[in-house]
Each structure stands twice: as C-alpha cells, then as structure tokens.
Amino acid sequence: MSVATPYFDQLFAGNDDPWAFRQRWYERRKRALTLAVLTRPRYTSIFEPGCANGELSAELAPRCDRLVCCDTAAAAVALAKTRLLGFPHAQVQQSRLPDQWPAGAFELIVLSELCYYLDADDLHRLVDCALASLTENGQLLACHWRPAIEGCPHTADQVHALLQQRLGVAPVVQHHESDFLLDLWSHDGTSVASREGLR
C-alpha cells in the first residue's frame, strides 16, 4: 500500500520545514545539484508533484513559463502557495497521485523524493501518467534518498531502475552518491554544447 496522506499531515503538524530543506547543507547542496543537471535554461512548462513547502518550487519557477506543483498534505500546499506568491505563473494544488494527475503537457516533470512512497501499482500508474504528459521533447528528472526508509514500499534504486526500464533511453545526466540518486532523462538527447553549436 502507498504511504497514506495522514503520514504527511503529521509531518507538517507544527513544523513548516519537516525535512529541514532550508537548514541542512545536504538539502541545499542536493537542490543546487538538481537545478544544475537541467540541460535547458528555461522550460515552457514544469510539473513538480510532492512539492512539500515549495523550496525547490521557488527555484524552478524562474526557469519556466508555467509551473504546476502539488502535494497531498494541506499544510504543505498552503506553505508552497505562500512561497510562490511572487510567481503568478505558478499554481499549487492539493492532489493525491497518481489518481489526480493534472491535465496538460509538460516539458519537464520533477520527481523529487516522491516515488518510494508509492506501492508497485501506484508507481507504475504514476510513470504511465508522466510518460503520457511529457511533451515530444520532454524531460523527466528523478532524485531520491538512497537508504531504505521504514514504511516505504520502494528504494531509490528500485525506483530509478523502473524509470530507466520504462523510459527506454539512457539518462542524459547521472549523478549518483551513496546518499541519493539523481537522473535526468530526455526524449531529445542533444547535449548542451551541441544545442549551442559547439559540437
């Protein structure tokens, strides 16, 4: 069974930053690496499910024309909305995935610290939704904590192996550490240098 919404509600009860996104160097460094692996300076549309309090969302917002974020916890949605007040093109929804996947196509989908909470059925359906909503030149970024988490149906290695299998193309960027996996897959495998005419 996928991890239920009350688990996340409890995390945010009386705590606006339960994973210490702002305080921990680990989190700040991982966020910087996540942004650095993106091969395009700007995207037409980005979807970030599981946005929590919006720390990564606020970094993604300046790099797109449309940003859709969602979280299952009401408190997280309220915090993310506040964090994104300066970005009128950003929208935050309370959604339980994969059942409430948003409409529209996305040039970038960011699966950050999300997929190991899903059971096998929900994870496969979420990947189906992501593949169906990626644009023709779309990219999918996945970043997950590598050690096993008690109560989570999957590990980062299992999640990224499934994504690799389903996407069927080699990642254009890989950054793997003992702590986390970070991969970026792209329908368009053109390198950054080639895109700028350097190769």
The whole-number pLDDT of residue 191 equals 82
DSSP class of 190: -
Peptide bond just before 98 cis, omega within 30 deg: yes
- Provide the β-strand partners of residue 47: 68, 109
pTM tops 0.75, yes or no: yes
CA–CA–CA angle 183, 96, 119 (5° rounding)? 60
What is residue 30's predicted lDDT score, i.e. its pLDDT? 98
The number of residues in the chain equals 199
199 residues of the chain, pLDDT tens digit each = 588 888 888 888 888 888 889 999 999 999 999 999 999 999 999 999 999 999 999 999 999 999 999 999 999 999 999 999 999 999 999 999 999 999 999 999 999 999 999 999 999 999 999 999 999 999 999 999 999 999 999 999 999 999 999 998 889 999 999 999 999 999 888 888 888 788 8
Integer Cα distance of 86 and 139 in angstroms:
26
Q: What pLDDT does residue 1 have?
A: 57
Interior angle at CA 131, CA 105 and CA 29, nearest 5: 85
Question: What are the tokens at 78?
Answer: 């309220």
Q: What is the pLDDT of residue 189?
A: 80
User: What domains can be seen in the chain, in order of their start residue?
Assistant: 5-195 (3.40.50.150)
Distance CA 108, CA 105 (A): 9
Containing H/E element for 33? helix 25-36
Q: Are 109 and 124 in contact (CB under 8 A)?
A: no
Structure confidence at residue 101 (pLDDT): 97
DSSP for residue 61: G
CA 7 – CA 154 distance, rounded (Å): 16
Nearest to 79 by CA among 18, 140, 133, 1: 18
> What is d(CA 123, CA 133) in angstroms, rounded to the nearest whole number?
15
